[in-house]
Amino acid sequence: MLHHAFFYLRQTRSRQTLARQAGFPAIKTLEDYDFATGAPRQRQQELAGMAFLQRKEK
């Protein structure tokens, strides 16, 4: 169990460091996104499913 906790903590810190180095103004997640002003609902669901990664699309 301790190994998993250490791995998760290390992974989280790594993501934070990389985001900071990239200079992103803020970290946003799907939970933070205002869907009322964004893309159509069907497009949002398609993107959230991340199938575009398997199709190797940008």
Residue pair 41/35 in contact (Cβ under 8 Å)? The answer is: yes
Share of the chain above pLDDT 90, in %: 21
Around 49, how many Cα atoms within 13 Å sit in the side-chain half-sphere?
Answer: 10
| pLDDT at position 9 | 93
Structure confidence by residue, pLDDT tens digits, 23-39: 988 888 877 777 777 77
Residue pair 47/38 in contact (Cβ under 8 Å)? The answer is: no
Residue 1 has pLDDT above 80, yes or no: no
> Which structural domain range is residue 12 located in?
2-54
For the chain, what is the domain count? 1
| pLDDT at position 21 | 94
Tell me how crowded residue 12 is: count the other CB atoms within 10 A of its CB.
Answer: 10
Label residue 43 by pLDDT band (50, 70, 90): confident
Residue pair 3/11 in contact (Cβ under 8 Å)? The answer is: no
Residue 49 has pLDDT above 90, yes or no: no
